[in-house]
Each structure stands twice: as C-alpha cells, then as structure tokens.
Structure 1
Amino acid sequence: MNRMLRPLAILAILGGIVPLAAPQAAYALNARSWVSATGNDPNPCTRTQPCLTFAGAFVKTAAGGVINCLDSGNFQGVDISKSITIDCTGVEAGTQVTNPGGLAFQVDAGPNDVVVLRGLDIQGTGQGSFGIRFFTGGALHVENCVIRNFNFTPGWGIDFAPETPAELYVSDTVFSSNGSTANGGGILAELSADGAIAKVMVNRVQAKGNFFGIKADGSAASGVINMTVRNSVSSGNSANGIVGTSNRAAVVIMIDRSTSSHNIAGFGVIADGPATVARVGNSSIAGNINGVGATNGASLQSYDTNQINGNSNDGIASVTPISLH
C-alpha cells in the first residue's frame, strides 16, 4: 500500500498529478450533446465539437440527458436503452431509413425510463418497416414530428408494443403514407406480453394517406389498452380511420373532438371483437364508405354531440347512444 502511495506523492510534488486526472474528465457523459451534418462521431459531442449521428451522441450522453441538432441533416436512427430526449426543434433534421425492413428508433429501456422524440422528420423512403418501435420503458413522448413513407411490410409509423405497463403520448405530429397494400398505417398500440398495460394519448395528430390511420389491437396478448384520441384527424386512409379490435386484451378507446373522414374503404370508426369498447363524442365522421360500426361482439357508444352523416353507409344502427354525465 505504501509503495503505491509514494510515487503519487512524488508526482503531486512535481505537479504531475494534474495530467493523470485530466483524461478522466474526457470520459464524463454529457448532460447535453449535439449533432451536426458536419460533425464526427469520435468528437465529444459538445456544441463546438458535435457528433455526426444520434447513435454517436447517445453513447456520450448521460441517462436523462438531451441530444440537440445544430443544423439540418440525416442523423440516422438509434436503439434507445435509457431515458433520453432527442430534440431537433427549429431545424429540418431526423432520419432516413433506406434498408428494406429497417427502422429508425427502437426503445428497449428500463421500466421507469422516459424517452422524448421532438421535432424530427422520420422518413421511411418506402423501405422502412417502422418509424418508432417500443417494447420496454416507462413512457414514450413523440412531439411535433413527421413520420412518413414506411411501406415495407407491415409499415407502421409508430408500433407501441409494451411488454410491461407503459405510456405513449403523441402530440402535434403528422403520419402520412405509411403502410403496405394490406397492413400498417400511422399508429398501432398492441401488447407484446400477457399482463401488459398500454396507456395511449393521441392529441392534435393528423393521420392521412396511410393504410390504417390509428389502431389499437389487443389480439396478441391479455392485458389492457386504454387509448384516447383527441383533437385529431384521420383522413384519406386506404382502410379504416380509427380502429379498436380485440378478442383478448381489454381495448377501450375514447374519441373526442376529432374527425375521421374520406377514408377510402372500411369505416371511419370501428370497434371489433368482444373485448373492445369505443366511445365517441364531439366528433365528425363523414365521407367514408362506412361511418361507424361495431362487429363481432364489440360495443361502439356515441354521445349525442357527434356528426355522423354523409357516409355511403352511416352505420347508426350499430351504435349504442349514451348521454353526457
């Protein structure tokens, strides 16, 4: 022990202890990191020495930290395993998925971790399968993003498929041209394991020109999917605008102050399967092949504040009227 201390004491006297300590600081993780189109991933990811990719910045950012974009660019996707915020507000920045069947962001984080994706243009280029895929974590927030052109089967803008209880919040975001010719679409909430609970809030979202618009599907596992769609538009999709379907997990959807219109086939709003309940209030459902529907033992409940008309078949007979409380 003394022999180990003695050289350090001599170095301290000579002033040599400072250089020994200096390299340790280089390995400290950033509370805030930066990426730039002219950056380089071996850099420390500071504002003056930014990284080139989100993946490069992620490994140099502390849990709960922030990655910002200095300028516009394609910063590629990243697998997310801890709390992080990626915020590119103010520039045209995001990811482009060019490999067939690829994805931009996958979240496999801890049970209390919170992931925020903000101000991103997430582009599938027709080749990507998923814009964002979530399996584990506490909460995922997607804010002020554009997610488009994920057309490789199945082709979802967001696939929220928790294995344990988790929350999804999507706001001020546009989903367009997602899905294949028979599946996929804007937002999918599903469960990856029995007993999982998915709480989903969709607010001020546009789902347009996808295959499906917004879908909650409890068929894969037992548990609960509780989704609220508010102040949102699902329009011009190839199949159904807003869908709840399940014969296993309890699926409950509340649609409030929203529009589902001009969807090319299927329904504006449909509840399907005995474990599904959908409630609609203060909303407009118009210009679809079928307006609303409840099939295979599902329940679709309508407050008297809705406008359901102008569809080829409004489907009012399938609706259970309910009063405001």
Structure 2
Amino acid sequence: MAKALSVAGDRDEIICMDKSAYGALVTIQQSVTISCAGDLWEAPAGSIRINLPAGAIVSIEGLVIDGTGAPGTAVSFTGQGSLQLHRVRIGNNPGSSSSGLFFAPNGPAKLQVSDSVFYANGTGTGGGLVINPQSGGTAQVALERVTVVDNAFGVAVDGSRSTGGINMTIADSMVAGNFQDGIVATTSGSGAPIGIYVKNTRSVTNAIGIRSIGPNVTVRVDGSSVIGNGTGLSFSGGGILATYGNNAVSANGSNGAFSGSIPLQ
C-alpha cells in the first residue's frame, strides 16, 4: 500500500486486488480513494497515519485492521480536510491508550463513518472512536450504522485542547459492552463547545450509557435506548443531556436522568 500511495497522484484511486497485510505503516498526505471490495485490505495495527492539508479528502472502503493483540492506535488523523470511512472493521488493539480511530485535527476537519465496526480497542483511556481536536482544530462528525463494542470508551469526544467547535451526529448505531462510557463528551470552561445529536441509537451494557461533562457540552437524545448499563445517564459540570421525550431508559444499575427536555416539533 505504501508503494501504491507513493506513485498515486492527488485525488487518484487505489484498488485492492487481493487480501494481504500491506506493510507496517502507511502515511497519507494527499487526497486519495482506497477501494477494497470484499474486505480485501488486511492491515496490521498502528498502520495508518493521515495528515492532510486544507481541502484534501481521503476515502477508504473495505478496510480491515486487526491489531492481533498488539498495542497501538490503528488510524490517526491530524491536519485538516476530510476523512470518509465506509464498511471498515478496526479492532483488537488493546494498549491502555490505543484507539481504533484517533481524530485530532489542528484545523477545520470532517469525519464521516458508515456501516463500520470498531471493537476491542484500548484498555484504559483509549476507545473505539476518539474525537480530540488540537489547538486550532474543529470537527464535524457523522456516524451512521456504526457498531462500537468492547472498547475502553466507545465514542469519546474531548474539546479541552481546542477552542473550535465540535458537532457530531450518531444515527442508527449500536454502542455496547464498553468498559467505560458508551458515549461521552467533555470539555473545559475555555475549551471547544460540543454539540452531539444521538438518533435511533442503542447504548447498552457499558459502564455508563451516555454522559455529558462541562459547561459547553450539549448532548441531545432522540428515539434511542439506554439499557443494561452500570449507569444509564449522567451529566455534570454544567453539561446538558437533553431528551426529546421518546427514549427508552431502563434496566440500568442506576438509570440516572436527563438534565431537561426538548419539545418535538
């Protein structure tokens, strides 16, 4: 894969022809489409580093990264631009701070993930998907039909290192069996404002189902289920955790509560 990237021009397409472990490290610095129909690209842990200029787009389909039990973040994103992941499977990266995807832009950036699975990433502070913009970074994130299971954190959003905004939608997804929070958003008083919309999603059997922490955090939950967690719902430090009044919250060790409600219109 590294060889293919070295000869591919900006906005070219790379097509996988067979299933193999394509090298220990790939660095992507230009717009490119990588198409791997039938899950043909099987990559090792810690194998993809994406650092893009403004306006660049990386689109990856059919990627498989299985860390085979070795520590290391599978995919890390810095810089700017857009990352699109479709039908990927990323997991088995058990280091304490390992993540399936670590999205840490230092400028305006977008992330779209669909029809994908993130499993068994991290044992401490890592997680399936970690959104953590750095100084100057902003993030627009859309997750649809994504399964996030058996990680340290499931979907974790941290705005404490940036003052730019973070806007995320999680739709039609499953977040289950994560050792820490299933879905969590946190920021400091001077950190990035965070807005998350959770639609038709199930957060089940995690330590905490959904949590909102910090004065600039707003999480809105619509038509979703929070069931079988140690704690279902939690908000603190001025964080808002709002319901549209149509969610199922039950059978948790402690159900917790929403901070308020939003009328359906």
The residue aligned with 1:139 is: 82
Shift of 1:125: 2.2
Which letter does structure 2 place at the counterpart of 1:174? V
Report deviation, 1:151: 1.8
1:295 aligns with 2:236: yes
Following superposition, the deviation at residue 94 of structure 1 comes to 2.2
Which residue number corresponds to residue 234 of structure 1? 175
Q: Which of the numbers 189, 201, 219 marks the counterpart of 2:142? A: 201
2:130 corresponds to 1:188: yes
Q: Which amino acid aligns with 1:218?
A: G
Residue 117 (structure 1) aligns with: 60
TM-score by length of structure 2 reads 0.96
Q: 3-state DSSP class of the match of 1:241?
A: strand
- The structure richer in strand per residue is 2
RMSD across aligned C-alpha pairs, in angstroms?
1.1
Structure with more of its chain in helix, by fraction: 1
8 A Cα contact 2:175 2:203, kept in partner: yes
CA offsets, 1:7-56, max 9 Å, x none? Answer: xxxxxxxxxxxxxxxxxxxxxxxxxxxxxxxxxxxxxxxxxxxxxxx101
Select 1:71's aligned residue among 12, 18, 23: 18
Gapped runs of 5+ residues in structure 2?
A: none
- Structure 2 CA distance, aligned partners of 1:167 and 1:173? 17
SS of alignment partner, residue 63 of structure 1: coil
Count residues in correspondence: 262
Q: Distance in 2 between matches of 1:119 and 1:137?
A: 23
In the superposition, relative to structure 1, how do residues 91 and 232 fare at CA in structure 2: closer, same or farther (>3 Å)? closer
Q: Where do 5+ consecutive residues of structure 1 fail to align?
A: 1-53, 98-102
Secondary structure of the residue aligned to 2:97 is coil
Cα separation, 2, equivalents of 1:275 and 1:193: 17
Q: Does 1:61 align with 2:15?
A: no
Q: Find the aligned partners of 1:185 and 1:207 in 2 and give their Cα distance.
A: 9
- Structure 2 counterpart SS, 1:56: helix
Corresponding position of 1:324: 264
- The aligned residue for residue 262 of structure 1 is 205
Cα–Cα, structure 1 residues 134 and 91, in superposed 2: closer, same or farther, change >3 Å?
closer
Q: Following the alignment from structure 1 to structure 2, what is the Cα–Cα distance between the partners of residues 126 and 232? A: 25
Residue 35 of structure 2, aligned match among 87, 90, 99: 87
Taking structure 1 as reference, are residues 217 and 81 closer, same or farther at Cα in structure 2, changes over 3 Å only?
Answer: same
Could you tell me how far apart the structure 2 residues matched to 1:90 and 1:191 are?
32
State the alpha-carbon separation in 1 of the partners of residues 142 and 134 from structure 2. 19
After superposition, the C-alpha distances for 1:139-185 in whole angstroms (9 at most, x for unaligned) are 000110000012223111011111000100011110000012x2111
Higher relative contact order (CA 8 A, sep 6+): 2
Larger Rg: 1
Which amino acid in 2 is paired with 1:183? T
Q: Check conservation: 2:17, 2:40, Cα contact below 8 A.
A: no
Q: How does 1:272-311 map to 2 (within 5 A)?
A: 272-311=213-252
Q: Distance in 2 between matches of 1:208 and 1:69?
A: 27
Note if contact 2:90-2:118 (Cα within 8 Å) is conserved in structure 1.
yes
Q: Give the secondary structure class of the aligned counterpart of 1:125.
A: coil
Q: 1:295 to 1:145 in 2, by over 3 A?
A: same
Aligned 8 A contact 1:71 1:91 in 2: no
Q: Is the 8 A contact 2:39 2:64 kept in 1?
A: no
4+ long deviations beyond 3 Å: none
Structure 1 pair 219/91, CA: closer, same or farther in 2 (3 Å)?
Answer: closer
Distance 1:245 1:315 in 2: 18
For 1:295 and 1:261, the matched residues in 2 are separated by 21
Partner of 1:252: 195
Query: Partner amino acid for 2:11?
Result: G
Q: Name the aligned partner's letter for residue 81 of structure 1.
A: Q
